[in-house]
Amino acid sequence: MKESALYAKIVEWSEEDQCFVGSAPGLVYGGCHGSDEKQVFAELCEIVNEAIELYHQDGKPLPAPTAGRDLANTLVTDGHA
């Protein structure tokens, strides 16, 4: 398993920006955007891999994993979705 699998990756439509926006909460602040949802996800996956590589190069510990926490259902339960 790649370390990138430990982090949730979210691609969502932004009405404000009129494009898809990708983010990886807890690991990547900011992210990427574009008009093609699949392309944004692919770019986000690359960004996550690069961020993990930078953590390793800098000798810093990785942030706590966000995948496997049932994030989608947590958002619905908390009333955010």
Predicted model pTM = 0.81
Q: What is the pLDDT of residue 75?
A: 53
Q: What is the pLDDT of residue 30?
A: 78
pLDDT string in tens for the chain (81-residue length): 899 999 999 999 999 999 999 999 999 887 899 999 999 999 999 999 999 999 999 999 999 999 886 655 555 566 655
Q: Which of 28, 2, 32 has the alpha carbon at shortest distance from 17?
A: 32
Q: Where are the domains of the chain?
A: 3-77
